[in-house]
Structure 1
Amino acid sequence: MAVASAVAAVGLAALVAAPGAPGQTGEIPGTGSLHITLESTTSNEEGLRPGDRIEYTIRVRNSGEEELPEAQVVQYLPPTVRHVSGSGDAAVEERKITWTRSLAPGERASLRMTGEVTGFPEGARRPVTTACLRPAPGAVLAACSAESHRVQAVLPFGWALAGVLGFVAAAFGIAVLGRLLKRRNEAPRSEEPREHAPGEVPDLRTFPGRSNVLHMDVNR
């Protein structure tokens, strides 16, 4: 699936490096023993469009020896993805989903969330979703994981309509020009009048492109 981009890496660093986090992980029980992974699946692997949905799977693990009765999983959504549904009793805010649950020593757990793409991200084609785990409410984020996706730009309706009309007009013009050239090549060529010797009686004929003229031999 999609791999976290450089933007995601910067975001993770900012989240984990919250006030009190550097050098103080030992003061918060369970901080160094929490692990989290975020995976996602979509129906369109080539690129998402507004209206497409993303299925997120969050897996957490407590590798420590201490029980964490109020561990929290927090998922941050980009502005162009909205929450649709999720597993468990989650608290849903505008762009943040929070699960609070206990994690026994060595316990593993998984959570699921469905999001929907609502638009094209400004300045980037890869909106980033981040999920983090902390040992208790208000504690520093101990571990984070991120996923990014490519979103395909959608042409405005006016541009698409103009493109279709332009193609139709060009095809019509080519067809008309082809017919004109075909008629020109098939048109009969004018036959030049035949020269006759003095004293020869010419035939009565009509010269193309002129009025009917009766030619008579002036010597008769």
Structure 2
Amino acid sequence: MVFRVSCVRRAGTRDSRRRVSRAHVAVAVTLIAAQSGMGAAHASVAREPEATLPLNISIDNGQTSVRQGDRLTYTIKISNTGDTETPELRVFQTTVPGLEVLSTTPEATASTKRIEWSKKLSGREEAEFSVTAQVGPQAPQMQRLTVVACASNKSSDRPVVCAAHSDRLETLGLPIESEESGAGLWYTIAGILVLLAVSGGIVGRRRLRRKTASEAPRDDMSGNMRL
């Protein structure tokens, strides 16, 4: 009886151990799966955006309206408003159809889309770049000539800062009318009208004199006949 009981107890102990070991395996698998899931979740989280560089940029050519044949000098100014040196920067100006690039200062790398320089800026440093170009033939529907300048980190194409300069496009046959030219046109028209009025008055007087002179002999003749 005791033997049988002990056998029963041992069998129960083995079953319980098997149950415990199986439970441990299940828990371990669950933990591994959870950890892998957490890793995947961490991997899917987007990186925080890079800190924006403290930069200012401007572009200007000193003009407000241009026409074909004009030679323009675009000046780009970029400054580091922070106290620490910037990484290598990519400073570039976009190219525009009908605007022929003649020279750059300092020397730049030119492509069909832009003119590019590389530059590091120390704290509070300002740098200047320039492009000399000539205005060529423009499409008839073009009303403005707009050029953009930007700066980005050398390792990225995404601009950090940008600026633009835009000029009115004058056509060769129809220059843009200013207030002074409009006033001059009205003065010209008024002068022509006055001249026409004066000349018309002179012609009218001459005709009246001729008519009076031609009627005078007829009166004398009629008088003689009456006598």
How many residue pairs get aligned? The number is 161
- State the one-letter code of the partner of 1:32: T
In 1, Cα distance between the equivalents of 2:203 and 2:59?
A: 62
Q: TM-score, normalised by structure 2?
A: 0.54
Q: 1:142 maps to what in 2?
A: 160
Q: Residue 149 of structure 1: CA displacement?
A: 1.6
TM-score by length of 1: 0.55
Q: Which has the larger radius of gyration?
A: 2
Aligned pairs for 1:1-220 within 5 A: 25-26=49-50, 32-42=52-62, 45=64, 47-62=65-80, 63=82, 65=84, 67-69=86-88, 71-120=89-138, 122-123=140-141, 125-136=143-154, 138-155=156-173, 174=196, 180-189=203-212, 190-191=215-216
Shift of the alpha carbon at 1:60? 1.9
* SS at 1:37 equivalent: strand
Distance 1:78 1:182 in 2: 65
How far residue 132 of structure 1 moved from its aligned partner, in angstroms, is: 0.6
Q: Distance in 1 between matches of 2:47 and 2:96?
A: 29
Q: CA RMSD in A?
A: 3.9
Percent identity (aligned) = 19
CA contact (8 A) 2:57 2:79 kept: no
- Structure 1: segments with no counterpart, 5+ residues: 1-21, 157-166, 195-204, 208-213
* Residue 123 to residue 35, structure 1, CA distance change in 2 (3 Å): farther
Q: CA offsets, 1:192-212, max 9 Å, x none?
A: 756xxxxxxxxxx767xxxxx
Conserved 8 A contact 2:144-2:166: yes
1:1-59 per-residue CA deviation (whole Å, 9 max, x = no partner) reads xxxxxxxxxxxxxxxxxxxxx98641xxxx611513223243x55x3222223332212
Note if contact 1:36-1:133 (Cα within 8 Å) is conserved in structure 2. no
| RCO comparison, higher one (Cα < 8 Å, 6+) | 1
Which is helix-richer, 1 or 2?
A: 2
Which stretches in structure 2 are left out of the alignment for 5+ residues? Answer: 1-45, 175-188
Q: 1:191 to 1:99 in 2, by over 3 A?
A: same
